[in-house]
Amino acid sequence: MLKPLGDRVIVKVEEQEEETVGGIVLASNAKEKPQTGKVIALGEGALADDGKRIPLSVKEGQVVMFDKYAGSEVKYEGENYLIMHEKDIMAIVE
């Protein structure tokens, strides 16, 4: 099992279909589209100035939306995940 440290979250990225017109992949526009994924594991939260942990806002199993370039790719037991800081998560998809 992978246990993220601090305010980090492990996310299983959802496959994203490329937008195509008649099979031709459209050039992405200047603003990159965010991606979505499912939260798999959570850290204990960032350390506050008084030494306490600030609990994270997201929960395991939630689908979250994040910037295309957020996080670091990790491979664990044959699966690919992203480890990112919670602040890189923009929204929860409910």
Residues in contact with a second copy by the rule CB under 8 A:
1-6, 8, 10, 29, 31-34, 41, 44, 47-49, 51-52, 54, 57-58, 65, 67, 72-76, 83, 86-87, 89-94
Q: How far is the CB of 55 from a second copy (least distance, A)?
A: 9
| Residue 60 vs 90, nearer CB to a second copy | 90
Q: Is the dihedral of CA 56, 59, 63, 68 positive or negative?
A: positive
For 20, 42, 55, 65, the CA distances from 39, given in Å and listed in that order, are: 28, 8, 15, 10
Please give the structure tokens belonging to residue 29: 């526009």
Q: Which of 3, 19, 2, 6 has the alpha carbon at shortest distance from 87?
A: 6
Q: How far is the CB of 78 from a second copy (least distance, A)?
A: 12
Please give the structure tokens belonging to residue 51: 């030494």
| Residue 14 vs 76, nearer CB to a second copy | 76
Q: How far is the CB of 24 from a second copy (least distance, A)?
A: 19
